Amino acid sequence: MARKPIEKVAEPKRLSGGNPQIAKGYGDEPVQVYIAAMPGWKSEVGRRIDAIISQAVPDVRKAVKWNSPLYGVEEHAYFLGVHCLTKYVKVAFFQGAFLNPPPPGESKQKTVRYLDIYENDTIDEAQFSDWVQQASRLPGERM
């Protein structure tokens, strides 16, 4: 019996900073496609962040919009987004100014706070999980 040829998976197009261009979609599958397409060490960071969020908020809703994974508890309302930049992974807490303590990165938007994760950073998983749980109880951003 002849073997079927292995289909080559196309590399996604990369946008500025190496951010993968992933089609808009809802649910875990497009988020996992995005994470797998994150360049280099960033993919492991994406897997770890996704695992922490999924454990902290078991009923989390996931989507990819604007080439970024989004996480929320209501349909089309999100509390957190992830984006690849050239030297780091940016985690945006859309209501981060209301978290205690707030994530360290400030934004031009009054309520948004960021956590930037660089290649050799160690994620404080307990703090990150606490922020995720707090953020999940706040009103999400409608997108």
Go through the domains of the chain in sequence order and give each one's CATH number.
Answer: 16-142 (3.90.1150.200)
Does the bond joining 20 to the residue before it have cis omega, within 30 degrees of 0? Answer: no
Say how far apart CA 126 and CA 24 lie, in whole Å: 30
Residue 76: what pLDDT? 82
CA atoms lying within 13 Å on the CB side of residue 58: 0
Amino acid letter for position 112? V
pTM of the full structure? 0.87
Say how far apart CA 17 and CA 90 lie, in whole Å: 11
pLDDT, tens digit (0-9, with 9 covering 90-100), for 19-55? 788 889 999 999 999 999 999 999 999 999 999 999 9
Point out which residues pair with 68 in neighbouring strands. 65
